[in-house]
Amino acid sequence: MAKRDLPEINAGSMADIAFLLLIFFLVTTTIQTDSGLSVLLPPYVEEPPPPVEKNKRNVFSVQINGNNELLVRGKQCPDVLSIKEKAITFITNRGKDPNSSESPKKAIISILNDNGTSYEMYVTVYNQLKAAYNQLWEESSKEQFGRSYKDLTKKERQAIRKEIPLVISEAEPSDLLKG
């Protein structure tokens, strides 16, 4: 009885197929990137400008200590979500209350946190402050142009931002805010 030879499989094109599969997966795979806060940093300058004295009434200071406790304008604030409404009231004061900003153009939001502040707390506070500006821009947009801020042209958005500029000042984290 004669032994049967097994037919050979041509493996010459296996490398080509593997290479094509590799290219296919590289092209079709999306790489997840972490996104942080979208903050535009000022350009680098050799000699920083001298500090400008600001009227304290125009500064809305928010301090977060290492225990994630908040001080808003020197007063304890147990509710993080109330920061948005406090910021809106401060920015839109237009000189009525002598303890709040003179106008939206002069309003400055200042954030100071401690090295022990949690990232979640920092982001929550930042989001509340940014939400205050977003709400003010939206209201101003509907009042001036009769449509949503997102539907405005670039020129119209710039007009709104000129009236209500986003000014959030962030100080270097420190160890001074022990709770």
Q: What is residue 148's predicted lDDT score, i.e. its pLDDT?
A: 93
| Residues 112, 123, 69, 83, CA torsion sign | positive
Q: What is residue 175's predicted lDDT score, i.e. its pLDDT?
A: 64
Closest CA to 136 of 166, 170, 100: 166
User: What are 165's two structure tokens?
Assistant: 């500029």
Q: What is residue 179's predicted lDDT score, i.e. its pLDDT?
A: 47
pLDDT band of residue 83 (cuts 50, 70, 90) is very high
- Terminal Cα distance for the chain, rounded: 93
DSSP-derived secondary structure letter, 94? T
Q: What is residue 40's predicted lDDT score, i.e. its pLDDT?
A: 66
Q: Give the containing element (helix H, strand E) for 77.
A: strand 75-77
Per residue in 121-174, pLDDT (tens digit) is 999 999 999 999 999 999 999 999 999 999 999 999 999 999 999 988 887 776
- In the chain, where the domains are located: 56-169
Q: Please classify residue 141 by burial: count the beta carbons closer than 10 Å to its beta carbon, then call 0-12 exposed, 13-18 middle and 19+ buried.
A: buried
Cβ atoms of residues 105 and 61 within 8 Å: no
Phi-psi region for residue 146, left (φ > 0), alpha (ψ -120 to 50) or beta? Answer: left
Q: What is residue 125's predicted lDDT score, i.e. its pLDDT?
A: 92
